[in-house]
Amino acid sequence: MASEDKTQEYNDDINRMSEKLGIPTPHSIETPKEETSQINQILSGWGNRIKDTFGVLDAETKELSRLRLIHCNSCYMRTGNGCDPRKSMTNNITGETVNGCGCNISAKSMSPTSSCPLGKWDKK
């Protein structure tokens, strides 16, 4: 992944500078897995939404989205086409009170690795 390559190059640069200056090498900088995962989910969802617009989305992803949207269509957290972060409800699995994620529902439903903040649909 490109961001991992940049991180590795940055860490290599820091190591070389530390050696030249004779100072201890600081800890490596890593991109948190959740951040990378969330970015991938967003890009996957929007990419699939664009594919659907052009009629080239695979049938499995299209059906996954359709099934997920059944839950979303009547959800209290939904405002327009978004999962409203100003609203909160209890997660069906954990029992925690959670806020809406703020995502565009039609795009998020097309990301196979995404999940509902209420636990109404899980990752594929």
Q: How far apart are CA 25 and CA 92, in angstroms?
A: 46
According to the model, what pLDDT value does residue 5 have?
A: 44
Tokens, residue 13 = 């640069």
Q: How far apart are CA 9 and CA 32, in angstroms?
A: 17
According to the model, what pLDDT value does residue 11 have?
A: 67
Place of tokens 């409203």: 84
Q: How far apart are CA 111 and CA 121, in angstroms?
A: 12
Place of tokens 């990752």: 123
Phi, psi of 104 (to 5 degrees): -75, 115
Tokens, residue 57 = 């989305």
Q: Domain residues of the chain, as ranges? A: 32-108
Does the predicted model carry a pTM greater than 0.75?
no
Place of tokens 């509902």: 116
DSSP tally for the chain: helices H, then strands E: 4, 4
Q: How far apart are CA 44 and CA 24, in angstroms?
A: 40
pLDDT < 70 regions, the chain = 1-11, 26-36, 122-124
